[in-house]
Chains A and B, each alone.
Chain A
Amino acid sequence: MANRLAAGVDRVRRTTQAPRPRRDQAPGIRPATETDVPGVIALDQDVTGLLKRDYWHDMFERYGAHPDATRIFLVAENAGRIDGFIVGEVRAWEFGSTPSGWVFAVQVRPGRRVQGLGSRLFETVCDRFRAAGVDRVRTMVAPENTVIHSFFRSQGMMAGPFIELEMRLD
């Protein structure tokens, strides 16, 4: 019986991972271009209810316009429509930390969720981070946003070594 849990775990692994296309076959995931920005803005507005035109143009300018090994803005496009995107960056020496990958934003169109697209975007960014020579990836989540928190946990993320602190300035 000792090996049963491990065997079961392997089974869960197979059933949860098998249907997903392999990373190198991930359809439609590519670096964002300027013409994708309106699609990103629209998707974000769908998801968050907020129109953030300047913010996303600025994000594209910083992370997408001059892509290199350390600044990454990827979109998942399907028949001309943006179904998802992810933004990340390699940051070094912040808070005394060795270089690590940061994921700032990930979103998938509601109708395309729970089909593995978010995972493929995340895996693709992680591949880029690995290629840039970093050995860990970080992010931050709002505790009440259980979906995104569960998503990152399901990718294998755990609590990081830092504690976020804040204080009111009034």
Chain B
Amino acid sequence: MRFQKATAIALYAVLELAADPERQLTAVEIAEKYGISAHHLAKVLRDLGRGGLVDAVRGVGGGYRFAGNAKRLTLMDVVSLFEDVTADTDELPPQAAGQEIAQALRFVLTELDRQTVATLRSITLSTMLKLVARRPWAGAETKPPRRRVRQA
């Protein structure tokens, strides 16, 4: 699956901040670390602030701090602020003669979506941070993921 750019940036920022909830970072600091546009990130951080995931710290030395509960917030809570990830079978097109191929394709795609939704809902930020620390890809037979998060 591909995340939209804003979603990928939001995940970097939220996880970076959640790794140490007492630390505050500016958009520029985070943007530099991940090689992303500070301008775009600043906009994403405002959205995350509205979503209650980060707090803006005003004034000199200001920045952003993580504001949620990393043990309960899931990847889905972050992703759903920026894009619609659903496995909604209601969206199947109405039964109509001649549309069987489209319906069958939707049927298969819904299977993929369901998997995506369940995965994003089950992984908390705290679980993600444990995964970062464990680096399971380092010892895996398969090559480590080269890209960070695939962006559209």
* Residue positions of A touching B, CB distance < 8 A: 1-2, 4-13, 16, 141, 143-144, 146, 149-150, 152-154, 156, 158-159
Complex partner residue of B129 from A9, A144, A150, CB under 8 angstroms: A9
List chain B residues, Cβ under 8 A from A5.
15-16, 19, 132
- Please report whether the interface of chain B is mostly helix, strand, loop or mixed according to DSSP: helix
The 9 lowest CB-CB distance pairs between A and B, nearest first, are A8-B19, A8-B20, A143-B118, A149-B122, A9-B133, A12-B129, A154-B127, A150-B122, A153-B122
Complex partner residue of B134 from A2, A141, A156, CB under 8 angstroms: A156
List chain B residues, Cβ under 8 A from A152.
122
Complex partner residue of B132 from A9, A149, A159, CB under 8 angstroms: A9
List chain B residues, Cβ under 8 A from A154.
124, 126-127, 130
Complex partner residue of A150 from B70, B127, B130, CB under 8 angstroms: B127
List chain A residues, Cβ under 8 A from B124.
150, 153-154
* Residue positions of B touching A, CB distance < 8 A: 15-16, 18-20, 23, 29, 32-33, 70-71, 74, 114-115, 117-119, 121-124, 126-127, 129-134, 136
Instruction: State in angstroms the CA–CA spacing of A138 and B70 once bound together.
Output: 25
B19 adjacent to A153 (CB under 8 Å): no
Q: Which residue of B lies closest to A159 (CB)?
A: B119
B122 adjacent to A146 (CB under 8 Å): yes
Q: A4-B19, A150-B74 are in contact. List 7 more A-B contacts (CB 8 A).
A: A1-B32, A1-B33, A6-B133, A8-B129, A13-B133, A146-B121, A156-B134
